[in-house]
Amino acid sequence: MEADMCLKVEPLRGEDALNLFYEKGGKVVLLPNIQDLEVDVVKQCGGLPLAIITMGKAMRGKERKQVWLDALRALKESAVPEIEGMESEVFRSLKLSYDYLEEYNIKLCFLYCALYPDDYKIDVSDLVRYWTMEGFDKNVDDLENASNKAYKIFEILKDACLLEECRSEESLLEESNSYFVKMHDLIRDLAIWITSSSSVEQGPKFLVKAGMGLKEAPKENMWEGVARVSLMVNDIKRLPTRPNCPTLVSLFLQKNLLGTIPSSFFELMPILGVLDLSDTNIESLPISFSSLVNLRILNLSKCRSLTKVPPLEHLTQLQFLDLKKCSAIGELPQDIGELVKLKRLDLSYLQLVTTIPCGTIRKLSSLEQLITIGTPIEWAKEERRPHLEWAKDENEGTSCSLAELAKLTRLDLLDITVKDIDCLAQDSFQLSSLSKFHLEFGKTEFGKTSAYKFTLPLCILIKNCAYMIVSLSVFAVR
């Protein structure tokens, strides 16, 4: 409409929301045995007038406390179609915004956000990686362009009122690149409804039980026929023995109490592409892990009890590997260099890892992002000049040198800690493709996450060094 000013209509809060509910609920809202429940029911409506009106009408005349408790359960578990009028009067109306999204991949991006719990601040950078690796947009391949396209999609979803930006004041003051979004409770319920068997849509089916305080995982029969499963942010200690999931593409198990995974758990997941086990208590991965030949994302970050990463030779499609803060890992897998499709490798804050096998880095020809910040890698001193032919003997020395990074022609982001300045031999550390660079010199401080993210021109942090002279006159950067 070419309006000059747009004003956001805020949801109803406090007494305004309650008064609207009382108006539609009638005399039953005055009963003393349900007055405490009324507040919780209205809160679950998220201030959406249409939902408050529908709930008021649905609960009108319902005097038994048990009926109110069941309605509250349905709201909390996103089972709102069980409530009279919710599907026909609320979801059908809200779904128009979803239907008007022109591209199917944008609809998939919206539905993906429902995998996160209620009121969860979703890190956009995580979503970008998942969307990219799942191939929602076939027109972009590299991570930088995929990220730019993703932000465009976020704007479309925000304009349709299907996502809300929730960037903190701290990040605004620090001019941080951190960007978070979340879904309104009822919008998330809409997405879950669309991806459930109750929807009239023929689309991907989800099993979402995120952030519900579960002690046990859903039974095996509930896993059948689903494309995406999210059990993140629960208290689950055990998983089903051998769920049959021939259509499963994404599996979110992060932030659970998992200690062990059944040996046959992954056997019947032939097309699984995204596996997030971050922030769990797993000590190892089962033998069936090697059957995940189509895996593209493996997130094991903050698995502090994990002592060893299993062989990765069968994961030929892997593009994203995150081992950040896996503090019990003593060495990297010997076959990590065989992951020729790997685009992002995060090896940050690995306290016990001191070497990367010589020749490993330069084999990763598709690598775009490398993070080793806070890891005490003893980079080999490179004495050869870059104009000399690279030594053919890959076993020369036990650890790779920084000169190997120059072989990565697609490298765009580099976060790295260098303990010994002698590793920067003259002319050996030239990188021409970088757009983001974070370099730290000196001793690492484990357990602390760097609060700094730099873009070129180069910034150098000098830690715990009494005296240092640095010359970086040969850098060629854009």
The 10s digit of each residue's pLDDT in 94-127 is: 888 888 888 888 999 999 999 999 989 998 888 8
Which of 121-130, 311-320, 366-375 has the lowest average pLDDT? 121-130
CA angle 328, 340, 407 (to 5 degrees): 95
Please state, rounded to an integer, the average pLDDT across all residues of the chain: 81
Tally the C-alpha atoms within 13 A of residue 130's C-alpha that lie toward its C-beta: 24
Amino acid at 416: I
- In this prediction the pTM is 0.81
For residue 74, is pLDDT > 50?
Answer: yes
The 10s digit of each residue's pLDDT in 271-305 is: 999 999 999 999 999 999 999 999 999 999 999 99
Give the domain ranges of the chain.
14-76, 94-182, 209-310, 323-478
For residue 306, what pLDDT is reported? 95
* Residue 5 CA: distances (Å) to CA of 2, 8, 97, 147: 9, 10, 21, 29
For residue 68, is pLDDT > 50?
Answer: yes
User: Is 94-182's fold the same as 323-478's?
Assistant: no
Say which DSSP state 401 is in: B
Q: Establish whether the linkage from the previous residue to 243 is cis, with ω within 30° of 0.
A: no
How far, in Å, CA of 256 to CA of 70, rounded? 27
Q: Which overall architecture, per CATH, does domain 94-182 show?
A: Orthogonal Bundle (1.10)
For residue 458, what pLDDT is reported? 46
Topology annotation, domain 209-310: 3.80.10
**CATH fit for domain 323-478, picks 3.30.300, 1.10.3470, 3.80.10, 3.30.70:** 3.80.10
- Burial of residue 468 (CB within 10 Å: 0-12, 13-18, 19+) is exposed
For residue 424, what pLDDT is reported? 64
Which of 78-82, 155-159, 452-456, 465-469 has the lowest average pLDDT? 465-469
Choose among 299, 283, 249, 244: nearest CA to 266: 244
How far, in Å, CA of 365 to CA of 342, rounded? 8
For residue 389, is pLDDT > 50?
Answer: no
197 or 348, greater pLDDT: 348
How far, in Å, CA of 30 to CA of 21, rounded? 12
The 10s digit of each residue's pLDDT in 403-420 is: 888 888 899 888 888 877
477 or 157, greater pLDDT: 157
Residues 6+ apart with CB under 8 A from 246: 268, 269, 270, 271
| Percent of the chain whose predicted confidence (pLDDT) is above 90 | 33
